[in-house]
Structure 1
Amino acid sequence: MSMPAGWYDDGSGRQRWWDGEKWSEHVAPEQSGGSAAAQPPTGPSAPSANGYAAATTGPPSSPDRVAPVLGFVGLGLAVLGTVLACIPVTFVVGVVVLIAAFVVSLVGVFTKNTAKWPSIVGMVLSVIGGVIGTIVTLVIVAAALVGPTGPMTPTVAPPTPSISAQPSSEPSPSSPPVGEERPSAEALGAALLADLQRTGITDYDNDPEFVACWGEFVYASELSDEALLEYVDTLTITGSEADLMKTVSTDATVSCSTP
């Protein structure tokens, strides 16, 4: 049966520390006025080097403390892992570093004769850093997937000739009188294209159906032959039929633009 740890005579007259299993290198200093071995035993005895037991006189001197190297290493890894975990590109690397920080800090806690606070702080920071990094990464990824939101860009319709009123009904092509001097529908359509290009509108350059429809509509209108001839020659109508030309042109645009 092993004896409890204590100061015992090692057989040489000196008090040596027995750690419960073997003799240590710690030797008690000599005391003035008689040695501790001369005093009667007052505690449990243990086997000495020569088979005798001696009294327990006190604990051995505490060993020197070691710098908490593992604790500081774990704390540094925890800080680095937290930073990396907050960046989506390095999130996985940050998690691995945080796991390593936790393990190193845990080993540092159980290391003897070292300060424990760096290891404890490293363990706590590695856990908190993992939670913060996960939240930040999820928020950034979600924002990237949703994308920027903003007002819808309105669709701009192609410019059309000025429209002042909707037609009540399409006029019959045969209603107005047809004179020999009245310009043809093709000539009126060509004049329309030239008039639009003069104002910078080119949307109907490649739309012959609209141009033909517009020319027939104006040709069948109540405009006089003289007014239409003036429009073909000068691309404008002056006099009393100028307002009528605007109304007919608007009606023709609306009618021919309707699908």
Structure 2
Amino acid sequence: MKDERDMKERACRISGEDRPSRWLITCDHATNRVPDWINDGDLGIAPADMARHIAYDVGAAGLATKLAERLDAPAIFSDFSRLVIDPNRGEDDPTLLMRLYDGTIIPANQHADAAERERRLTRLHRPYHAALGALAARHPARCVCAVHSFTPQLRGRPPRPWQIGILYSHRDARLGPAMVQACRAEGWITGENQPYSGHLDGDSIDRHALAHDRPNLLIELRNDLIATPEGQAEWAHRLAPVITRTLAQTGL
């Protein structure tokens, strides 16, 4: 597997691939890394912008790592910034390659043409999904848990009150609503399909869970709660038993 990942030019990294859990933890927006073959590794925006949510999901990789350990589950992480090309978008999605995000212009993307889009798809997006699909297929009763984070407030928008959001598609409400209720029972301020819609054609859950009838969750943590290793460990400790118990109660 290591050699295969090397050939994929660091499209992803995988941890615990032989762990036995039904769960597969995914982290689509794990890093703000820009490959050196894209504008010498520089998208042309300030370091402060590369460090915020427009470039990756702050804290999500650490939370996903610790949650996977607690669930004894494999985990897969993208290894390129969402600003390079977004692995949680379908290939025909207009937001696949962002030129403006939350008030920040992305200079290296401003004039990216169809050939450049195809190059990034071929070298990063498609290999990531190929690896994710192969890992998902390794367990016959696979469940998928996608880990993301959200910023407490977008520029010019109201503050977001939720600590956690549980997202699910209208095409599969077997697990999501039960998880919402379980989180609220813990006393957490929980958004149901907040701060984003739970369904997006061609996204990772659509491709690797809905298309295969796999039970699934998409968990969004407010990123100020998981900005540190301590916060990530705390929320993994909180979430793991709730996830396990909720799946068992649904009988899926």
Q: Which has the higher helix share?
A: 1
TM-score normalized with structure 2 length: 0.18
TM-score normalized with structure 1 length: 0.18
- Which structure would you say has the larger RCO, counting Cα contacts within 8 Å and 6 or more residues apart? 2
Q: Report the structure number with the largest CA radius of gyration.
A: 1
